[in-house]
Each structure stands twice: as C-alpha cells, then as structure tokens.
C-alpha cells in the first residue's frame, strides 16, 4: 500500500512540474506567433525589423487597414515554384531557411499550391468568354427546348369510372 502512495505522490509531482519542464525546453510561446502592434515610430519599426530578422531597409509592414497584420512584414509574393530548387535550404521540403519569416499567405504560396509568377495559358478575356459562352449556351438550349418535353411513352393510367371495376366472384 505504501508503494502505491509513493507512486501516486511521484505521479503528482511529475504532473505538477511537467508544464514547467516543457516551457523550459521550448524556445517560443503562442504569444510569439502573434504580430505586435503596428509600428508608429521609427524606434518601433527598427524593433519590429529586428524581431523578424530583417534589415531595416528591407522591412515594410502591411498597411494598417484593419485586417490585423500589425507589425508583420510585407514580404514579396514568391511562391515555392519560383524559388531555386538547387539552393541548399535548411528545410528543403518547404524551400525555407531557419528563422526566415513566413509570408502572410504562406498556405497559398507553397510549392504544391498557387504559383503567382506563372503565365496564364489563355488571357483572362478568353477565359471569361468561354465561361459566359457555356453559361448562356446552356441557358439558351434550355429555353429553346422548354416547350418540347422529353419523357418515356407511357399508357395513361386506367382509373375506374362509375361502378365496380373488379370482383372476387368467378364468372
């Protein structure tokens, strides 16, 4: 019985000190992922550039238009397909280096997603013409054949008129 009490005390100590141990081994908290307030002074701008590991001349925050980007840097739109495939990245799967800030639209600009620098196969006006042609063509065919109903030929239903239409007695 005493071994059970000792093990429960040990478990209680371990559970009580686990968050401290995890916090001590991690090098970031969730609050570190959130952008800070929009930099209003030059000193705040320099501090934000240092926080994101950028040279002050390269740092430009998103405009303070209410979308909540705060002091996050406005990085150029470069998708994974546009990056050099032979460069020795620290994380070659995502073509990123250690401590490189992520683009605000990183989930869109990854290599298996959208390529912002790709040239369209057809101009935008051709794509719109194809879309509208299909939509209005389908609508026109529908309007043209609305009066011509297509159905399977079926004999009209035989409903009883007046009187008995069945009997159980032999004839």
pLDDT at 137: 98
pLDDT at 2: 54
Per-residue model confidence as pLDDT tens digits over 9-23? 555 555 455 454 444
Query: Which residue did the predictor score with more confidence, 171 or 15?
Result: 171
Q: How many CB atoms lie within 10 A of CB 103?
A: 18
Query: Which residue did the predictor score with more confidence, 87 or 117?
Result: 87
Task: List the one residue out of 103, 93, 96, 95 whose CA is nearest residue 73.
Answer: 103
Q: Sign of dihedral through CA atoms 87, 92, 93, 94?
A: negative
- What's the pTM value of the predicted model, to 2 decimals? 0.55
Residue 89's pLDDT band, with cuts at 50, 70 and 90, is very high
Per-residue model confidence as pLDDT tens digits over 92-146? 988 999 988 888 888 888 888 888 888 889 999 999 999 999 999 999 999 998 8
Task: List the one residue out of 94, 65, 90 whose CA is nearest residue 81.
Answer: 94
Q: Kindly tell me if the per-residue pLDDT of 65 is higher than 80.
A: yes
Query: Residue 2 has what DSSP assignment?
Result: H
pLDDT at 22: 47
């Amino acid at each position: 019985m005493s071994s059970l009490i000792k093990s429960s005390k040990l478990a209680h100590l371990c559970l009580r000190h686990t968050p401290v141990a995890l916090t001590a081994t991690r090098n970031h908290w969730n609050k570190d992922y959130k952008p800070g307030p929009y930099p209003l002074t030059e000193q705040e701008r320099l501090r934000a550039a240092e926080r994101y590991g950028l040279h002050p001349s390269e740092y430009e925050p998103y405009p303070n238009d209410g979308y909540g980007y705060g002091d996050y840097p406005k990085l150029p739109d470069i998708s994974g397909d546009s990056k050099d495939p032979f460069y020795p990245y620290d994380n070659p799967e995502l073509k990123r280096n250690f401590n490189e800030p992520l683009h605000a639209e990183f989930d869109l600009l990854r290599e298996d997603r959208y390529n912002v620098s790709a040239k369209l196969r057809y101009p935008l006006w051709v794509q719109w013409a194809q879309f509208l042609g299909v939509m209005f063509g389908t609508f026109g065919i529908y309007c043209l054949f609305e009066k011509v109903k297509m159905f399977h030929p079926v004999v009209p239903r035989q409903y009883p008129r007046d009187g008995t239409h069945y009997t159980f007695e032999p004839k």
